[in-house]
Amino acid sequence: MKPVKFSQRRHSAGFSLIELMVALTLSMILMAGALSILYSTKLTSSENERLARVQEAGRTAFELIRQDARAAGYLGCTKPRIDKSLSPPTSTFSNGLNSTSLLWNFGFPVTGFEATSATVWAPVLDAAIPAVPVPAGGNDVLVLRAARPGSPVFRTNAAFAVGDQIPVDRDPNVTLTTPVPIVISDCKGATVFMATAFAGTAGTAKISHDTTGTPANSSSSLLRSFALDSLVQPVQTVIYYVASCTAVNAPVCPAITPPALWQIVGGGTPQELIQGVEGMQLLYGVDTDGDQLANVYQKANAVADWSTVVSVNIAVLARSIDETGVEKDKQTYKLLGGTANSGADYGPFNDRRQRQIFTTTITLRNATT
């Protein structure tokens, strides 16, 4: 008789409490490390995004100003000058408007206002620059007169008397909203006048220039005749300045906003262009010897003859919209060399925003060619 064998059941051994605590501690350490890396990556990404926005604000500000600055004073194949062959010597440019105030003084492609303190500009700010939003104290104001990007261009298609409507060729899909200041030019000279009506069919149109409106034309007749194929195009005065909406004042300021670059076109409503532009300083390159090169850079209140300005040296201070980090900004930013060198000092701001200075010099092409 064989003995009966009883099988022995093996019991599975589990983790001890100490082993579980060690494993849990190691897991927490690993998780803390992973979370730390994730937070650091997110923080770095946020900082890089803020810096990218600051850089974008500076570059975009320059690009917008550059478009108008390079087109400032364009008069086709002519440029303003004194024709000494005439008796008496006469300028080849004439302003047919009955106003030479800031918005309508097209004889000068560029002018400006120098901030001499937090509340004073020299010359005194023109009434065309409204109080809402008021330019930020200590920041300069730039005024350019140019054909705006995308504006229509026409050519005269027949001879016409100085008191007649101006006949032009046009794209059938292009029209002209009036009243609007217009420059007509040939290689002998140019005249600015106010177009009071624009009418036509198919590929031709006629531009009226009577004495209605504000400002009005000084006369219903142009100051001289113009040849066939003369250039006809609208021009505008464009004002750039730094401001912020410090209080709600609709429709211009529907909400409180940070400092930004603002623009006024003609007599239009101020438009906010780029938030984060906190400061702007300007110096104007003046040609003192007639060689179409800047001999000296001057503040706006030192420029004696704006027709001699051939370039503009611009510095802007851009900042991030939101505060970040823990360190406060205790730096002093010296735009155009700071106060000691015809520029200005900004800061310390003692906030937690990122800032960067951008500087460029823009040549007024139509003043040097």
Q: Over the stretch 82-116, which tens digit does the pLDDT of each residue have?
A: 655 655 555 678 899 999 899 999 989 999 999 99
Residues 6+ away with beta carbon under 8 Å from 362: 62, 65, 66, 69, 70, 311, 312, 314
DSSP symbols for 7-69: PPPPPPP---HHHHHHHHHHHHHHHHHHHHHHHHHHHHHHHHHHHHHHHHHHHHHHHHHHHHH
Closest by Cα among 256, 299, 260 to 277: 260
For residues 322 and 355, is the Cβ–Cβ distance under 8 A? no
Q: Residues 257, 358: one domain? A: yes
7 has pLDDT over 70? no
Q: Is residue 132 part of a domain?
A: no
C-alpha atoms less than 13 angstroms from C-alpha of 252 in its C-beta half-sphere: 18
4 has pLDDT over 60? no
Q: Residues 200, 344: one domain? A: no
Q: Residues 225, 161: one domain? A: yes
- pLDDT at residue 35, rounded to an integer: 78
Residue % of the chain over a pLDDT of 70: 91
Q: Is residue 190 part of a domain?
A: yes
Q: Residues 113, 256: one domain? A: yes
- What's the pTM? 0.85
Vertex 278: Cα angle to 276 and 284 (nearest 5): 125
**Measured distance CA(62)–CA(25) in Å, rounded:** 55
For residues 152 and 233, is the Cβ–Cβ distance under 8 A? yes
Kindly give the pairing relationship between strand 93-95 and strand 189-195: parallel
Which DSSP letter does residue 367 get? Answer: H
Give the domain extent around 215: 78-108+149-234
Of 187, 214, 234, the domain-final residue: 234
Of 234, 254, 288, the domain-final residue: 234
Residue % of the chain over a pLDDT of 90: 63
Q: Residues 251, 116: one domain? A: yes
Q: Among the listed ranges 76-85, 110-119, 166-175, 188-197, which one has the minimum average pLDDT value? A: 76-85
- pLDDT at residue 234, rounded to an integer: 95
Q: Residues 36, 102: one domain? A: no
The total of structural domains in the chain comes to 2
Q: Residues 349, 277: one domain? A: yes
List residues bridging with 82 in a β-sheet: 91
**Measured distance CA(357)–CA(336) in Å, rounded:** 10
Average pLDDT over residues 152-172: 94
Q: Residues 338, 285: one domain? A: yes
**Measured distance CA(169)–CA(331) in Å, rounded:** 58
267-304: pLDDT as tens digits: 899 999 999 999 999 999 999 998 889 999 999 999 99
Q: Is residue 134 part of a domain?
A: no
**Could you tell me where the DSSP H helices lie in the chain?**
17-71, 365-368
Q: Residues 89, 223: one domain? A: yes
Q: Among the listed ranges 41-50, 151-160, 249-258, which one has the minimum average pLDDT value? A: 41-50
